[in-house]
Structure 1
């Protein structure tokens, strides 16, 4: 990153304070439904029209909010060779009514032609506030003519509020990632078969690990058995590095209660998201006070050619990188079994040998490095890890972004003071 002239350490520290203030208030960390936003996200305001939309450069995260019946525009500038993925995490406020609410996300070209669209929302079986995600993409395809040229495109986020839902603002966390072009001569057809039998669960004993509250604060996990606790209304996030050629198997168990009886449908939910935050697959389990388990159906090994399959559970496994597991506990559990916390056990198995990537150049987020494997095994947060093609020396810089604002200010003042002293010595 190139720094502008005239921006000394004190100015940079002040900028960090301003950025923290602009991010706005956050829900209390222990409040059910709280979401852990990217602390480095830039706060923007979506435009009412395409000409008003703020520009969202790739490689960054952005924050906004949206009310019922509102449509917001954002501008993205794309080249003619890279695939682009725009994720929108929709975060209702804790305790709000969400039944029937929908959010529609589209990517349009300059002629208002649709490049991609995805809807997300809350079904009757999961009508409680929790983060939901929609991802749209501009993909370079040989036989397609629309949405292939370089230029301006528009991300459109529209919230369709149901009469029974809360019209108040919902949070938005928007990500923009680009995928490099592959080498020439790669496969152009989806695999027709892969190992579908789940391997035996890991037997090396449970280890304790506390999940995060968002994609950026997701806690790293490696293969093994992990224990945590979860309260009703909470969503916990974990990330797992999965390399090219590797296959992920995952399950979540909810511990028993002191009493049994009442049936709560869709009580426990386990969802898998890929590196661009697109939902790959999920599984729900009911709860009756007895221990219950939600195990993901087998997904294929990570392969570039998976994208040529129409099904989400196959095409979603198109990248190497950090995959995310989200575990939800339905707040309805409180009525019959109390506020908890409840015991949670995650079991992860990763099979297959890592293979070389398909890209013609640096892979960025779409790769797995030794550093990211070590970060996951040690439980580092997703936002603190380096990307697959980033040098290990970048880790301290990334981690520094998560330091509290007060600490950043103190460090900035210290550096400024030292610089002033050195300047005085040189001038003396």
Structure 2
């Protein structure tokens, strides 16, 4: 699932790779290059912990993201202008969640890969492509909020829908291309037990590992995080300057957006870089190296919490989304009531012959319409709105 899966032991000098001639020798080399210091760490406890975390994230994330996709897809044509980014972000998070059962089984099988060479590469590619998509759509959402709030030009108002669609297509294409340099070096290694590992050429393994780790950190955190901070802060300041009545709530949401992204991703990228640089560019203490290798999988799993938190922050905290969700849930209730009323009217007409009540099958009773859902100035899904753009 991650670069360190195939790069677990890279502490020896790069020139030692010249004496290795096959995969089995390389695996033996990996397993005997950690510094010799002894630590009592329970692998069985770690496996159980990982399985529970993966299972919890899978169940909760699956339900949340499916609800977000259904509601936003149903309301895409008539709801907030930014719902397109939220919908695509939920699709990307759902893709990450759907890959979790494979990682759960791999952990419980002690990283033995039993599903063939194609699935080895495709599963990693599928995970990384959706990971980058989710992060990039968060950045696009942050930027577009501020642009929509401040830009009132007629050209933007006319072409904003088309531009958002083009941006979404561009994000998916970019996210599909970025993982390729890493995925082409992921292979199924047939040792005593088959393992799905990152296997760059022997002579340039450390260079490839460093390039992939740096690109993952730069594209996945170093560039997106400052953009999120800057545009979310600018949006909050703009709303407060405009005297928006819920300015304090928006500022708290902005702090939550930034804090959640940092908490989920910063530990992962710091650990990835430290383990990649260790042995060739920096020297870490023996016990620290063991701790980082041991907890890397847990930290990697912890980063996937964004698939659970994103639907809450960007959807379920919004009053309008809750109204849309309630409307979607009760969408079929009027039909049930109509059928019941039709049966009652049929019984009444057959017994009394006084009157005939006709109810169409698709009729919607007046109670179904909700003033906050149909109102053109309803609060926005992500918790932001603008005086100049009611759907914002």
Shorter-chain TM-score category? under 0.3
So what's the TM-score if we normalise by structure 1? Answer: 0.19
Greater helix proportion: 2
Greater strand proportion: 1
For the pair shown, the structure with the greater C-alpha radius of gyration is 2
Q: Comparing both chains, which one has the higher relative contact order based on Cα–Cα distances under 8 Å and sequence gaps of 6 or more? A: 2
So what's the TM-score if we normalise by structure 2? Answer: 0.20
